[in-house]
């Protein structure tokens, strides 16, 4: 009896090994893409961040931790004193702040939009979704310049406000953080709307009726029934907006006018004019670390909230 | 026992998609009074407007015209959350992100009751529907029948003046449905709350209700006690929808104050006592329940005769289909009390006796 059992276990293990082998074979293409496109470049970045910068860009193959030091500290070339790299920190702070505000704005505008679309009759929903995705058809740069055209001093908004006499001087909107926020919200809002819509489409609106029936006001229905149930969509949308915002390059470049840098611009600077590739690599990895930490904290807290309900 | 009116629906009409090509008149000038502490059922085929009427009382829809009063106060302009009325939904609509206890306590919490009061009422409700052991389970961790109980407890917890039930048993299998029918009756007795129950199942309606309203095409055809609805249908639709009925078109050939002679298309005219309230002439329809007719000998004053065309044995009963010269055969249901089938063979001539008191004369 025990022998046959052992035999059977052996057979099962064999079958399992076979299964693993086959799965490995099937996942090879995905693994190759993952190694070449993600792990490879990442490894190069890690290596570069520990090398010395070349005189005309590029790297010299000499071990150095200078780049990592430069991420947060600044050494004066004349008196050799060390101070905190204020410029980097303020850029980092601006990036995090603007990305957070972009995510928040996109949620505040995107959630009602998604709700609106999800509550239309099924036949018309696709039209609304189609309208949401239309901006994707145009190049990001062109869309950003369109925003610039609207908010610049002689732009549409200022011309209109001057014409109706609401202001005597054009409002300085261009090249401010507000301009960057506006541009990024415009660019990334579909990434907020679509996942929220996807969860809302599966949401059973009978539950809203049930909540109304049980004396819940509109606000309570939203807070106690709709939001908890579409939370996966809100989490996904927030991640999809926050991460690209943090690394945004084109929008702050065009609408920030080169004086309001974000992390993406700072990194680009190191690989271009700055001729400091190791610092660029180190800054990129710093950005990656911030994103990872933000993600882990966010997902953990979302899970924890879910767990309270599950327990 | 019938005393005060709980819900008074008067002259209510509801038109969906008004003014468009898809315009639908879901309710057509409906008036009905539902008494306090009564188990009232809206019965009808799908699309008859019964659910629309329920949703109007709940406040999910607004009437195109007419008024709805609860305990004498107009409620038709109030939002659902301002009406002391709760609903048990067809698919329960329980909150999937909450536990059994949280679901039951939701309404109380929204009413702003204190935490201790919510706790106490939830425990009481769990006891009432016998779900104490599952209070901390999630909705997807309990069975359909248990979900049904939670939905009931959730709707009863705020102690509404009226409980509305929208085909709550239709998703359950037969055995569970029977159990829940008994359970619902018990809950109605124990809580003393007025129940308004919507169903398309006539058996469910007859067994559970104090009174039944039969609806069709946006109108209420008859409101009465179940036995009256069954035995004294006032409309052909009601007679047809509830139970099985033999319909016989008849023409009045001759009529005096005591008797009338009817031609039913058979060989011989049929003689029946003239009902006192019958003011019609010409064509009428007779409705006779299959179990209220019997096969008899010639000495037993048969009303008409026919030829046995089919015998269907179904365990408790035997159905005899008898050709009496009309389009459809006349069906007689005989209970198999003795265990032996009656000795009749196809083609036999049989005489049919019907107590004239059970014959219904219908308006068309």
% chain B with pLDDT above 90: 45
- Predicted pLDDT of residue A106: 96
> Mutate which of A211, A214, A306, A311 to test chain B, going by most B C-beta atoms within 10 A?
A214
Neighbour count for residue A206 (Cβ, 10 Å): 14
User: Which candidate from A204, A213, A310 shows the least CB-CB separation from B80?
Assistant: A213
> Mutate which of B62, B90, B95 to test chain A, going by most A C-beta atoms within 10 A?
B95
Q: What is the mean pLDDT of residues B208-230?
A: 93
Q: Does residue A192 register a pLDDT over 90?
A: yes
Q: Does residue A309 register a pLDDT over 50?
A: no
Kindly give, in sequence order, each residue whose CB lies less than 8 Å from that of residue B272, ignoring residues fewer than 6 positions away.
Answer: B259, B260, B262, B303, B356, B359
Q: Do B154 and A214 touch (CB under 8 A)?
A: yes
What is the rounded average pLDDT for all residues in chain A? 87
Least confident of A56-60, A126-130, A135-139, B254-258: B254-258
Q: Look at chain A and count its residues.
A: 311
- Predicted pLDDT of residue B267: 58
- Predicted pLDDT of residue B2: 47
- Predicted pLDDT of residue B340: 60
Kindly report, residue by residue over B249-260, the tens digit of the pLDDT: 888 888 777 778
Q: What is the pTM of this model?
A: 0.78
Q: Which two tokens stand for residue A153?
A: 């001093």
Q: Does residue B14 register a pLDDT over 50?
A: yes
Question: Chain B contacts of A204, Cβ < 8 Å?
Answer: 93
What is the rounded average pLDDT for all residues in chain B? 87
- Predicted pLDDT of residue A230: 92
Kindly report, residue by residue over B93-122, the tens digit of the pLDDT: 999 999 999 999 999 999 999 999 999 999
Kindly report, residue by residue over B137-191, the tens digit of the pLDDT: 999 899 988 999 999 999 999 999 999 999 988 888 888 888 889 889 998 988 8
% chain A with pLDDT above 90: 38
- Predicted pLDDT of residue B114: 93
Return the higher-pLDDT residue of A13 and A230.
Answer: A230
Pairwise CA distance, residues A176 & A172, whole Å: 8
Least confident of A301-310, B15-24, B352-361: A301-310
Q: Which residue of B has its CA nearest to A210?
A: B93
Q: pLDDT-derived band of residue B56, with 50, 70 and 90 as boundaries?
A: very high
Least confident of A247-261, B79-93, B157-171: A247-261
Closest Cα of chain A to B280: distance in Å?
48
Q: Which residue of B has its CA nearest to A223?
A: B110
- Predicted pLDDT of residue A274: 84
Least confident of A153-167, B28-42, B267-281: B267-281
Q: Which residue of A has its CA nearest to B60?
A: A209
Q: Look at chain B and count its residues.
A: 364
Kindly report, residue by residue over A269-292, the tens digit of the pLDDT: 888 888 889 999 999 999 999 889
Where is mean pLDDT largest: A32-36, A76-80, B346-350?
A32-36
End-to-end CA distance of chain A: 42
Q: Do A210 and B58 touch (CB under 8 A)?
A: no
- Predicted pLDDT of residue B265: 66
Q: pLDDT-derived band of residue A21, with 50, 70 and 90 as boundaries?
A: confident
Question: Chain B contacts of A309, Cβ < 8 Å?
Answer: 97-99, 138
Q: pLDDT-derived band of residue B1, with 50, 70 and 90 as boundaries?
A: very low
Q: What is the mean pLDDT of residues B347-357?
A: 81
Q: Do A211 and B106 touch (CB under 8 A)?
A: yes
Least confident of A192-196, B35-39, B285-289: B285-289
Kindly report, residue by residue over B245-289, the tens digit of the pLDDT: 888 888 888 877 777 888 776 656 777 777 666 566 677 888 888
Pairwise CA distance, residues B244 & B333, whole Å: 10
Under an 8 Å CB criterion, which residues of A touch B?
A: 204, 206-207, 209-217, 220, 224-225, 228-229, 309-310
Q: Do A206 and B79 touch (CB under 8 A)?
A: no
- Predicted pLDDT of residue A260: 81
């Amino acid at each position: 009896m025990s022998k046959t059992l052992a035999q059977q276990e052996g057979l099962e293990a064999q079958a399992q090994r076979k299964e693993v082998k086959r799965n490995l074979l099937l996942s090879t293409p995905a693994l190759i893409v993952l190694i070449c496109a993600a792990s490879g470049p990442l490894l190069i970045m890690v290596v570069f961040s520990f090398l010395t910068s070349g005189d005309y860009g590029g790297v010299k193959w000499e071990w150095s931790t200078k780049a990592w030091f430069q991420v947060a500290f600044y050494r004066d070339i004349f008196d050799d004193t060390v101070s905190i790299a204020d410029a980097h920190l303020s850029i980092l702070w601006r990036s995090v702040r603007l990305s957070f505000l972009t995510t928040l704005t996109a949620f505040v505008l995107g959630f009602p939009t998604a709700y609106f679309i999800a509550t239309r009759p099924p036949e018309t929903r696709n039209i609304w979704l189609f309208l949401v995705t239309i901006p994707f058809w145009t190049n990001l740069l062109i869309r950003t310049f369109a925003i610039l055209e609207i908010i610049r001093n002689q732009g549409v908004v200022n011309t209109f406000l001057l014409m109706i006499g609401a202001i005597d001087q054009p409002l300085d909107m261009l090249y401010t953080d507000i301009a960057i926020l506006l541009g990024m919200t415009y660019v990334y809002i579909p990434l907020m709307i679509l996942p929220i819509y996807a969860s809302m489409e599966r949401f059973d609106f009978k539950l809203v009726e049930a909540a109304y029936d049980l004396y819940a006001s509109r606000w309570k229905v939203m807070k106690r029934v709709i939001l908890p149930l579409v939370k996966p969509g809100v989490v996904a949308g927030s991640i999809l907006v926050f991460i690209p915002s943090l690394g945004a390059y084109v929008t702050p470049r065009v609408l920030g006018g080169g004086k309001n840098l974000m992390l993406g611009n700072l990194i680009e600077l190191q690989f271009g004019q700055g001729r400091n590739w190791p610092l660029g690599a180190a800054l990129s990895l710093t950005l990656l670390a911030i994103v990872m930490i933000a993600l882990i904290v966010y997902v953990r807290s979302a899970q924890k909230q879910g767990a309270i309900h599950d327990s | 026992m019938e005393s005060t009116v709980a819900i008074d629906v008067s002259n209510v009409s509801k038109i969906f998609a008004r003014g468009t090509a898809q315009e639908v008149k879901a309710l057509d000038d409906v008036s009905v009074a539902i008494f306090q502490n009564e188990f009232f059922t809206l019965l009808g085929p799908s699309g008859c407007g019964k659910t629309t009427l329920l949703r109007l009382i709940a406040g999910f829809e607004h009437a195109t015209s007419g008024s709805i009063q609860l305990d004498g106060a107009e409620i038709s302009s109030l939002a659902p959350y301002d009406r002391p009325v709760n609903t048990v939904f067809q698919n329960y609509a329980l909150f999937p992100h909450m536990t059994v206890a949280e679901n039951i306590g939701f309404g109380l919490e929204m009413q702003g009751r204190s935490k201790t009061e919510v706790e106490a009422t939830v425990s009481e409700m769990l006891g009432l529907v016998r779900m104490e052991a599952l209070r901390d389970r999630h909705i997807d961790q309990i069975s359909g029948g248990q979900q049904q109980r939670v939905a009931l407890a959730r709707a009863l917890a705020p102690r509404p003046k009226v409980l509305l039930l929208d085909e709550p048993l239709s998703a359950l299998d037969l055995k569970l449905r029977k159990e829940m029918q008994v359970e619902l009756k018990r809950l109605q007795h124990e809580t003393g709350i007025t129940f308004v129950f919507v169903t398309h199942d006539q058996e469910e309606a007859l067994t559970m209700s104090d009174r039944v309203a039969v609806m069709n095409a946006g109108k209420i055809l008859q409101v009465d006690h179940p036995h009256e609805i069954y035995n004294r249908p006032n409309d052909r639709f009601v007679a047809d929808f509830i139970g099985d009925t033999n319909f016989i078109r008849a023409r009045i050939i001759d009529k005096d104050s005591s008797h009338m002679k009817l031609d039913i298309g058979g060989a011989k005219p049929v003689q029946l006592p003239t009902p006192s309230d019958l003011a019609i002439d010409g064509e009428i329809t007779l409705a006779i329940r299959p179990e209220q007719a019997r096969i008899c000998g010639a000495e037993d004053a048969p009303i008409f005769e026919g030829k046995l065309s089919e015998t269907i044995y179904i365990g408790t009963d035997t159905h005899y289909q008898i050709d009496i010269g009309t389009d459809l055969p006349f069906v007689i249901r005989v209970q198999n009390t003795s265990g032996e089938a009656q000795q009749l063979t196809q083609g036999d001539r049989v005489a049919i006796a019907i107590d004239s008191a059970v014959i219904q004369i219908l308006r068309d």
